Amino acid sequence: MNADGKTKTIDRGSYEPAYMQLVRIVSEQIATGILHPGDQLPAEGQFCTRYSVSPMTVRRAINILVERRLVSATQGKGTFVKPLDIGEAVFRLQELKDHWTHGSHTNVRLLEARIVFADECIASKLAISPGERTIYMRRLVLQEDLPTMYHREYLVYDPTLPLVEAQLQITSLEGLLQGQNSEGFRRGHLTIEAVNLKEEEAGVLKVPTGSAAFYLEHIFYDFHNHPVSWGGLMCRADHFKLTAYIGADADL
């Protein structure tokens, strides 16, 4: 199965667990072309004897390869190397969050916060009745005194909370971005799209009207599965780029 005589072995004295070493060995074989897409991996028993590990250890390693989508396992048939598939690419919002948190001089300016009565659109998004009260907030994120993100959000008004002030502290998206948050939320739905900035948005972000931007829309739900926050974040396109990697990386 291996192309050369010098086959790697598991180093039991290593800090790296045996199952991880096995994951790395197979990943390298895929990355270097020793194993090609479509090739069948050795059976579990062969791995056991080949590397002197127990079946559970082999299974754990293979499970990880399956999760990483480098191979696919089918009961009764075997485990096979998957071809490269662009659909596997995942873009993580962590990058955007890092922009927010690690930016040397990042601060958030609250532009506006007031009670608004829900129109049909807001009401349907928050699953309330038109005319019910919501808290509307507009925030601007500045990095090095440069506006980079513009956030608008509607929160359902909760009369059990003492003051508007209290709810302002919730600052849902801000809390979520900063990690310190926001007990009330247990689930969220996010979408991202490319948009042309309207005049007001462009003005706030100090770019020409019509400039391209990422629009990150969000709805957050509480424990009762009721929406409590609906809003969107406009991100200056010239400041944000999401990245992804696909395929075997030989490392990681």
User: Judged by CB under 8 A, which of 108, 181, 203, 204 binds a copy of itself?
Assistant: 181
**The tokens 């991100």 sit on which residue?**
235
Q: Does 226 bind a copy of itself (CB under 8 A)?
A: no
From the list 54-62, 117-125, 187-195, 201-209, the region that binds DNA by CB under 7 A is 54-62
Q: Does 57 bind DNA (CB under 7 A)?
A: yes
Q: Does 53 bind a copy of itself (CB under 8 A)?
A: no
Which amino acid is it at 43? A
State in angstroms the smallest separation of the CB of 18 from DNA. Answer: 3
Q: Which does 36 bind (CB under 5 to 8 A by kind): a copy of itself, DNA, none?
A: a copy of itself
> 3-state SS string over 139-180?
EEEEECCEEEEEEEEEEECCCCCCCHHHHHCCCHHHHHHHCC
| In contact, 174 and 211? CB cutoff 8 Å | no
Q: Does 73 bind DNA (CB under 7 A)?
A: yes
DSSP conformational letter for 108 = E
Q: Does 33 bind DNA (CB under 7 A)?
A: no
Q: Does 59 bind DNA (CB under 7 A)?
A: yes
State in angstroms the smallest separation of the CB of 164 from DNA. Answer: 38
Instruction: Report how far residue 229's alpha carbon sits from residue 151's, in angstroms, rounded to the nearest whole number.
Output: 12
Any residues with CB less than 8 A from the CB of 2 and at least 6 apart, and which? 29, 34
Residue of 233, 161, 148 whose CA lies nearest to 169: 161
Residue number, 58 or 156, with CB nearest to DNA: 58
User: Judged by CB under 8 A, which of 5, 15, 179, 251 binds a copy of itself?
Assistant: 179
User: Is beta strand 106-117 parallel, antiparallel or unpaired with respect to 78-81?
Assistant: unpaired
Instruction: Report how far residue 34's alpha carbon sits from residue 174's, in angstroms, rounded to the nearest whole number.
Output: 47
Q: Which helix (H) or strand (E) holds 189?
A: strand 187-196
Q: Which helix (H) or strand (E) holds 214?
A: strand 212-221
Residue number, 67 or 144, with CB nearest to DNA: 67
| In contact, 19 and 61? CB cutoff 8 Å | yes
Q: Does 209 bind DNA (CB under 7 A)?
A: no
Both tokens of residue 15?
A: 């800090």
Q: Does 251 bind a copy of itself (CB under 8 A)?
A: no
User: Judged by CB under 8 A, which of 1, 43, 84, 116 binds a copy of itself?
Assistant: 84
Residue number, 33 or 55, with CB nearest to DNA: 55
User: Judged by CB under 7 A, which of 27, 29, 35, 79 binds DNA?
Assistant: 79
Binding footprint of a copy of itself on the chain (CB under 8 A) = 30-33, 36-37, 56, 67, 83-94, 96-98, 173, 176-177, 179, 181-183, 185-196, 210-214, 218, 220-221, 223, 235, 237, 240-249
